[in-house]
Structure 1
Amino acid sequence: MTPEITLAPPKRKRAPSAPLLLLRDPMTALALGYLILIALVAILGPMFMADLAAKPNFRARNLAPFTLEQGWAFVLGADTLGRSLLARLVVAARTTLGIAVCAVMCSLVLGGLLGLVAGYGRGWLSAAILRVTDIVMSFPSLLLALIVLYSLGPSVLNLVIVLAVTRIPIYLRTTRAEVLEVRQRMFVSAAEALGASDTRIIFRHIAPIVIPTLLTIGAIDFATVVLAESSLSFLGLGVQAPAFTWGSMVATGRGYLANAWWIAFWPGLAILLTTLSLNILSSWWRTYSDPHQRWRLELPRGGRGTKEKRS
């Protein structure tokens, strides 16, 4: 008898992990590194540089950058009161990013919950939620923020509330669209046939599928909120003195662009780099989270064009 020969199934090539794919893209890795650095600076920096950010030094008024006459803390120059711009950038990072994080988290949670209700239910409550959303979206977000802040007065709490309310419709409509598609799937019908409650179906079966999409939108929207907060602070309707943000620092330095450009340049550069890094990282994450587009990241460098030609 001839022995039976069994062929082992071919080994499937293991897909690269997310950190490895991220390190393959130098621009995305650089953006992530910058965001990690700015987050650490915002968390830890004010503990060491808060005094320098508030203490005036009239001998260093409008001190030019890259001079160490007053010490390393003045390497980026000083403002009109001789305060270290490096220290003020570090302290302002906590305020700017803290406002953006609170606004994005509030709008994501509230918009996601309302979107789950509006997408799964089909009664008067769903219709009422959609009508209120249409009313909010009919106003330009920045104009609505200006009206509310002018009426209630500028403060950190009012700024967070305004930014969160103006961003809720984005998460609500996205969640509702996802829920309308997911509720038609077989596992939802099976859960309904087994007698599962609506709350269990929404939070146990539908919400885990919707959350990754909301996180992707949140990463993209974070950059928009940072720009909106900077714009409102630049117009004088954001954080009020003695607190300050990157946007208010730009507003302070706009009158000295001719003879002290660095007062407005460094906070403007911080806003630019932060929003650019967020957009780069969110674009990479959007490609990675889509199974139909992930192959673009798995290609070796230089082989992307060949693959696109073959497809």
Structure 2
Amino acid sequence: MSEQELSRPAADVASSNPAMTVLRMLWADKLAFASVVFLLVVTFCAIFGPALLEEAATKQNLRGRNAPPFDFSANWLFWLGGDALGRPLLARIIVAAQNTIFVAAGAVVCSLVIGTALGLIAGYSSRTASQVILRLADVIMSFPSLLLAVIVLFMLQSSAWNLVLVLAITRIPVYLRTSRAEVLEVRERMFVQAAKVMGASNRRIVFRHILPVVLPTLVTIATLDFAFVMLAESSLSFLGIGIQPPEITWGLMVAQGRPYLTTAWWVSFWPGIAIVLTTMSLNLLSNWMRVALDPGQRWRLETRRKRNA
């Protein structure tokens, strides 16, 4: 390391680290920071929850049928109460996080990849290919998302993979149209024209010069869309055409507690709270990413960070 680098203040060295810069900007927005912490907890539950608590979440105990919450003298798994078959709600919420997050994440990733690829082709290829792809998007958008999901799931077997497939198809036009609009604007910029003059191939221009500019916007939309897809999955499970027992999701838990809303409100309340908090955290994180990934607005977080320092 050079003598000049050694003489730099520690704060400047830390600020030159991209990871530290992101953490400092995240810490500047306390709501976004709390959202990330909560989402990390949900992700941990989704990954390790079934391996640790699946047996406790499925074991029936009729003595604990509709057990009330906040009974700290009981087993800690019953601190949120029990369901109609005496199964602990806390354990079931942790285990159900895996199916809920898997369906939402799978649908968002598939629709993001396919929609972005089609959008890049539509925005940078010939007019004929662009029109064909746009008409395909119009066909998909002509059907309401939930109605299309209901029709397909009635025809197919209700499973996690079928849910991912259906929800991914309904969300493709969002990324297709957004990426195409971004490509049409970016392709006219000076650095793209310079790459053309230097003889770069179309593939190199698209993936090396255009995609990195378009991707931050798509990632922000995907974060927000994750919440929408999770609510759609919960709605389908609530209607009884999503994932079927013995598999569990948060939406299915809400549906199972519907007959007991007047006598055991907690059976539906706690999984509903899990859905609300996860959706709210994703929305807050999406708002932070919209500012953090935009060089024109990033100074707001930098200014707030320096003010709090």
Alpha-carbon displacement from aligned partner over 1:20-61 (angstroms, at most 9, x marks no partner)? 122122222111111111111111122110001111011111
Q: Which amino acid aligns with 2:31?
A: M
Name the one with the larger helix percent. Answer: 2
Range moving further from structure 2, 110-119 or 22-31 = 22-31
Of 257-266 and 188-197, deviating more is 188-197
Residue 95 (structure 1) aligned to one of 99, 102, 110: 99
1:205 aligns with 2:191: no
Q: Which residue of 1 aligns with 2:131?
A: 127
Aligned residue in 2 for 1:30:
34
- The 1-side partners of 2:108 and 2:197 are apart by 37
Q: CA deviation digits over 1:109-136, x for unaligned, max 9?
A: 0000000000001232221100010111
Deviation at 1:218, TM superposition (A): 0.7
1:77 is matched with: 81
Q: Secondary structure at the match of 2:257?
A: helix
Deviation at 1:247, TM superposition (A): 0.1
How many percent of aligned residue pairs carry the same amino acid? 56
Does the aligned pair in 1 maintain the 2:220–2:289 contact within 8 Å?
yes
Is 1:227 aligned to 2:231, yes or no?
Answer: yes
Q: Which runs of 5+ in 1 are unaligned?
A: 1-12, 304-311
> What code does the residue aligned with 1:197 have?
S
**What's the CA shift string for 1:53-95, capped at 9, x where partnerless?**
1110111111111114541111111100001111100110011
TM-score by length of 2: 0.90
Q: Distance in 1 between matches of 2:30 and 2:86?
A: 38
> 1:154-209: per-residue Cα shift (whole Å, max 9, x none)?
22111101110111101011100111111112222232233332222211221121
Match of 1:155 in 2: 159
Amino acid at match of 1:262: W
Choose 1 or 2 for highest CA Rg: 1
Q: In structure 1, how many angstroms separate the alpha carbons of the residues matched to 2:240 and 2:108?
A: 22
Equivalent position SS for 1:139: coil
Separation (CA, whole Å) in 2 of partners of 1:179 and 1:24: 32
The AA in structure 1 aligned to 2:132 is A
1:183 to 187, 198, 211: 187
Amino acid at match of 1:167: R
Q: Which letter does structure 2 place at the counterpart of 1:165?
A: I
- Aligned pairs (5 A) from 1:1-311: 17-68=21-72, 70-300=74-304
CA deviation vs aligned residue, 1:204-226 (integer Å, no higher than 9, x gap)? 22112111111111111111111
- Contact 1:60–1:70 (Cα < 8 Å) also in 2: no
Task: Give the match's secondary structure for 1:212.
Answer: helix
Cα distance in 2, alignment partners of residues 180 and 25 from structure 1: 33
TM-score by length of 1: 0.89
TM-superposed deviation, 1:246: 0.1
For the 8 Å contact 2:99–2:160, the answer to whether it is kept is: no
Task: Identify unmatched segments of 5+ residues in structure 2.
Answer: 1-11
**Secondary structure, counterpart of 1:135 in structure 2:** helix
CA displacement, residues 251-302 of structure 1 (integer Å, 9 cap, x when unaligned): 000110111111000000000000000000110110111222223323348x
In 1, Cα distance between equivalents of 2:155 and 2:190: 50
Please provide the CA RMSD for this pair.
1.9
The equivalent residue for 1:3 is none
* 2:119 partner letter: G
In the alignment, the residues of structure 1 paired with residue 163 and residue 188 of structure 2 have an alpha-carbon distance, to the nearest angstrom, of: 39
Moved more, 138-147 or 46-55: 138-147
Distance 1:70 1:59 in 2: 12
Q: Choose 238-247 or 15-24, whichever is displaced more.
A: 15-24
For the residues of structure 2 that align with 1:17 and 1:192, how far apart are their CA atoms? 34
135-144 or 186-195, larger mean C-alpha shift: 186-195
The aligned amino acid for 1:156 is A
Q: Which runs of 4+ in 1 moved over 4 A?
A: 13-16
